[in-house]
Amino acid sequence: MTAKHIMTAAVALVLAGTVTSLWVRADEFTKKDLARWQNEYMSVVKKGRDLWTSPALGTKGVACAQCHPNAANTHPETYPKFQKQLGRVIALREMFNWCLTHPLEGKPLAFDDPKMIAMEAYVTYERRGVPLAPGKH
């Protein structure tokens, strides 16, 4: 190692230390923060449950819950995975849209639509504790 290499390594170490300490500081939170985040999370889960059990997303008077009561047979823990309906590896949200546009005959949702996020929150909450099994059938 030349002196130049040693200097470069030293500068890199100092920079890495600064970034790490900033990141650690930014990550501090209080019990009050945690309680607020949990409340917000559960209110989104509840919105998702309301959407799941409502026929309003489609045009056939059918709700997701009729075929997937309590998010049954949605298997969020297996995504992303190959789905034959779309012929490629897809995200869970794409399968939500497949059911939205097929059995429900409704319009697809944008992937960042708050309704999409709420339904994903509901489904994954129902399946909490299930080990991840991406790609599994």
CB of 119 to ligand HEC, least distance (A): 6
CB of 45 to ligand HEC, least distance (A): 14
Q: Which parts of this chain interact with ligand HEC (CB under 6 A)?
A: 57, 62, 64, 66-68, 73-75, 78, 92, 95-96, 99-100, 103-104, 119
Q: Which is nearer to ligand HEC, 17 or 134 (CB)?
A: 134
Q: Is 47 helix (H, G, I), strand (E, B) or coil?
A: helix
Instruction: Characterize 52-67 residue by residue with b for buried, 16 or more Cβ atoms within 10 angstroms of its Cβ, and e for exposed.
Output: beeeebbeeebbbbee
Any idea how long the chain is?
A: 137
CB of 43 to ligand HEC, least distance (A): 19
Q: Which is nearer to ligand HEC, 24 or 132 (CB)?
A: 132
- C-beta neighbour count of 51 within 10 angstroms: 20
- Residues 6 or more apart whose Cβ sits within 8 Å of residue 121: 41, 44, 45, 47, 48
CB of 63 to ligand HEC, least distance (A): 7
